[in-house]
Amino acid sequence: MPAYQRMLDPTLNGLHSGESPLLRTVGLTKRYGDFLANDSIDIDVWPKEIHALLGENGAGKSTLVKAIYGLIQPSAGEIRWQGEPIVLSGPSEARSRGIGMVFQHFSLFDNLTVAENVALGLDGKESFKDMSARLEQVSRTYGLPLDPRREVWQLSVGERQRIEIVRALMQDPKFLILDEPTAVLTPQEADQLFVVLERLKAEGRAILYISHKLDEVKRLCDTATILRGGKKVQTCNPRLETAASLARMMVGGEIKEVKAAAGRQTTIPRLVVNDLSLAPDEAHGVRLEHISFELKGGEILGIAGVAGNGQDELFAALSGERLSKDPGTIVIEGIAAGHLSITKRRKLGAAFVPEERLGHGTAPRMKLSENALLTGHAASGMVNRGFIDTAATLKTVDKATETFDVRKAKRDPEAASLSGGNLQKFIVGREILRNPAVLVVSQPTWGVDAGAAAVIRQALLDLATAGAAVLVTSQDLDELAEIADRIAVMFHGRLSAPLAASEATREKLGLLMGGSSLEPKEAAHAVGA
């Protein structure tokens, strides 16, 4: 670190002199085959520090924390804990030394209670009763209220995360790793989490905080280490950086700005949903209740909401993967389509991009040309009397490659061999090349690098400018603010009335995402209807 920066940085300057960091990695390297996931990474984390680990998907953040938590063994380099080199045989050794971790994907059993789940994750020998009592006490102390007797499936995502955090805290860790903890929270829930983290810091614990939300990192973190392509780019004080300068370090260059064309005209309604209600088809699924909205050509409607509030179910209902008994609940291009199959809906001019790229949007082990056929067979002239026109499928691949800058090793590789961003560009491109009248897209840039995300968002804007109706479901409020004309929020299978993007502040959206209503009278009316 340059000397001038050290002087500017209150946490690094003086405070730590003479001590050793709580945790230090020296030249930590992890190799998978020919691929260097971590290339000689040095980081220092001090007590009483919230240290951000910033980077795009694939930058090596997860690999690094997995090594620190003992889940994987580094190929070279070492980890020093309180100055001593250590070798962790596994997570339980990491935990016994005082390293805790909260994963982005929870490992909880839906049908067990909170206390049972916590008991399963602890190595201790205390009785279930003592453990339950301690659980209640820890959760009360840190302002993370939890009822130990409730079953997990009844809890919201925020509450589930609390279980994971409390479980980690019950081991009294000196060092806590949090992997993108706010990805599943409303802005208000995130604020509550920050209070807890500040408190943990005040108690002298260190926190390693993985994120790619720059505002959050600037607000919360004392130090930030930026990774790119498996290498450490820099360690800095995020409060002295701008969001743009942090983004540059993450991406290694400027990101193209997404521009909406001026004077976009809305035309006729192209996708109308009338009082759509649908029972879930699996246990613990979400019931869609009385969903109505109208989407015109030239318009982008954003649907915000915490994951698991019915977005997947809505996508399945709109795409026709699940059918509705009442044809009139979904109207595509003026035609009642609730009872029509996904193929027939595509023939009406609708196109769909699901959240999951591999296994849902594409068949992972099939070639791109075959994956072009997967959705193109309905209405793109790829099939002639039952026979596949291979040249036409390859042409779609080439066109998508060219138009959307899909980078791949050869002309027609397997879908699974592409990186997330490039595969997503291909999938979005495949649908946009069909010139759809209606595009329903779920999490268009989830886990996609910033460059690809900009290409995809621009493509969605251009499609709307060309007259299509675009429905975007996303958990990323910044993304919706960037491209949507109106934003509605899903909560417990219900959809709020859309707000104009200019009025949709984070606070308002956050309240709706948490289930509060903005205008009590109107909400009561909507429930009655």
Partner 1 sequence: MQLVLEKRTERSNTIALVSPLIAIGLTIVTMTILFAILGKNPVLALQAYFIAPLTDSYSLQELAVKATPLVMIAIGLSLCYLANAWNIGAEGQFLIGAVAGSWIAVKTQGTDAGAWVLPAMLVLAAAAGALYALIPAICKVKFGASEILTSLMLVYVADLLLDYLVRGPWRDPNGFNFPTTAEFDPVATVPLLIEGGRLHLGSIIALLVVAAAAILLGRTIKGFEIRVVGAAPRAARFGGFNANQLVILTFAVSGALAGLAGIIEVAGPVGHLQPGISPGYGFTAIIVAFLGRLNPIGILIAGLFLALTFIGGEQAQIAMKIPLDVTKVFQGILLFYVLACDSLILYRFKLVLANRQVARGAG
Which residue, 98 or 376, has its beta carbon nearer to partner 1?
376
x/- contact string, 122-141, with partner 1 (CB under 8 A)? --------------------
In the list 20, 171, 417, 458, the residue contacting partner 1 (rule: CB under 8 A) is: 417
Nearest C-alpha neighbor of 314 from the set 292, 283, 334: 292
Query: What is the per-residue binding string for partner 1 in 353-382, x denoting contact by CB under 8 A?
Result: -x-x--xxxxxxxx---x--xxx-xx----
By CB under 8 A, name the one of 159, 398, 414, 462 that touches partner 1.
Answer: 414
Query: Residue 495 CB, nearest distance to partner 1 (Å)?
Result: 23
Size of the site for partner 1 (CB under 8 A): 41
**Minimum CB–partner distance for residue 380 and partner 1 (Å):** 12
- Judging by DSSP bridges, how do beta strands 175-179 and 206-211 pair with one another? parallel
Q: Is the Cβ of residue 388 or residue 501 nearer to partner 1 in the bound state? A: 388
CB of 311 to partner 1, least distance (A): 16
Taking the least distance from each CB to partner 1, the nearer of 65 and 165 is: 65
The whole-angstrom separation of Cα 339 and Cα 345 is 10
DSSP strands (E only) in 237-380: 269-278, 288-296, 300-304, 330-332, 335-336, 350-353
In the list 196, 416, 481, 523, the residue contacting partner 1 (rule: CB under 8 A) is: 416
Q: Which tokens is 438 given?
A: 């209606």
Residues 286-345 within binding reach of partner 1 (CB under 8 A): 319-321, 341-343
Asked whether the beta carbons of 304 and 474 are under 8 A apart, the reply is yes
Paired tokens of 346: 């595509």
Length reported for the chain: 529
Give the C-alpha separation, 278 to 510, whole Å.
Answer: 25
DSSP 22-80: SEEEEEEEEEETTEEEEEEEEEEE-TT-EEEEE--TTSSHHHHHHHHTTSS--SEEEEE
- The binder of partner 1 chosen from 142, 175, 352, 491 (CB under 8 A): 352
Q: What's at 32, amino acid-wise? A: Y
Q: Which of 89, 129, 202, 502 binds partner 1 (CB under 8 A)?
A: 89
d(CA 431, CA 438): 10
The yes or no reply on residue 255 touching partner 1 (CB under 8 A) is no
Query: Taking a C-beta distance cutoff of 8 angstroms, is the pair 453, 421 a contact?
Result: yes
Binding residues among 42-81 for partner 1 as defined by CB under 8 A:
73-76, 78
Residue closer to partner 1, measured from CB, 75 or 403? 75
- Among the listed ranges 41-49, 412-420, 464-472, 507-515, the one in contact with partner 1 (CB under 8 A) is 412-420
* Pattern 23-42, partner 1, x by CB under 8 A: ----------x---------
Q: What is the CA radius of gyration of the chain?
A: 25
63 touches 37 (CB < 8 A): yes
- What would the DSSP string read from start to end of 442-454? ESTTTT--HHHHH
The verdict on 413 binding partner 1 (CB under 8 A) reads yes
Residue 21 carries which side chain, given as an amino acid letter? P
Does residue 6 belong to the site contacting partner 1 (CB under 8 A)? no
Query: Are the CB atoms for 39 and 58 separated by under 8 Å?
Result: no
Residue 91 Cβ, how far from partner 1 at the closest point, in Å?
A: 12
Question: Using CB under 8 A as the criterion, which residues of the chain lie in contact with partner 1 when the complex forms?
Answer: 33, 73-76, 78, 87-89, 319-321, 341-343, 346, 352, 354, 356, 359-366, 370, 373-375, 377-378, 383, 386-388, 413-414, 416-417
